[in-house]
Amino acid sequence: MDNLTEALQKLKLASGDNTAHGVEICLDCLLKALASTNTEASMKIQEMGILPLFPNLLNPQSSCTPKVANIIAELAKNEFMRSPCVDAGLIPPLVQLLNSTDQEVLLQTGRALGNICYDSHEGRSAVHLAGGAQIVAEHIKSLYQNTEPENEKLLTVFCGMLMNYSNDNDSLQAQLINMGVIPTLVKLLGIHSHNASLTEMCLIAFGNLAELESSKEQFASTNIAEELVRLFQKQAEHDKKEMIFEVLAPLAENDVIKLQLVEAGLVECLLDVVAQTVDGEREEDIAQLKTASDLMVLLLLGDESMQKLFEGGKGSVFQRVLSWIPSNNHQLQLAGALAIANFARNDGNCIHMVDTGIVQKLLDLLDRHVEEGNVTVQHAALSALRNLAIPVVNKSKMLSAGVADVVLKFLQSEMPPVQFKLLGTLRMLIDTQAEAADQLGTNGKLVERLVEWCEAKDHAGVMGESNRLLSALIRHSKSKEVVRSVIQGGGVKHLVTMATSEHMIMQNEALVALGLIAALDLVAAEKDFVGASLVSVLHKLLSDERSAPEIKYNSMILICALMGSEPLHKEVQSLAFIDVVSKLRAHENKTVSHQASLTEQRLTAQS
First to last CA, the chain: 107
The three-state secondary structure class of 298 is: helix
Give the tens place of pLDDT for each residue, 79-137: 999 999 999 999 999 999 999 999 999 999 999 999 999 999 999 999 999 999 999 99
CA 210 to chain centre: 14
- What is the reported pLDDT for 10? 65
Contact 164, 118 (CB under 8 A): yes
**C-alpha to C-alpha distance for 499 and 532, rounded to whole angstroms:** 11
CA distances from 268 to 229, 257, 303, 318, 321 (A): 10, 16, 19, 12, 12
The three-state secondary structure class of 268 is: helix
Q: Which helix (H) or strand (E) holds 153?
A: helix 149-166
Helices (runs of H) and strands (runs of E) counted in the chain: 40, 0
**C-alpha to C-alpha distance for 578 and 602, rounded to whole angstroms:** 10
Contact 564, 553 (CB under 8 A): no
**C-alpha to C-alpha distance for 435 and 425, rounded to whole angstroms:** 16
In the predicted model, residues of the chain with pLDDT beneath 70 are: 1-4, 6-7, 10-21, 372, 606-607
Tell me the backbone φ, ψ of residue 455, rounded to 5 degrees. -105, 10
- What is the reported pLDDT for 1? 47
Amino acid letter, residue 552: K
The closest alpha carbon to 185, from 149, 165, 215, 214, belongs to 215
Name the DSSP class of 277: H
**C-alpha to C-alpha distance for 350 and 395, rounded to whole angstroms:** 11
Strands (DSSP E) found in 301-386: none
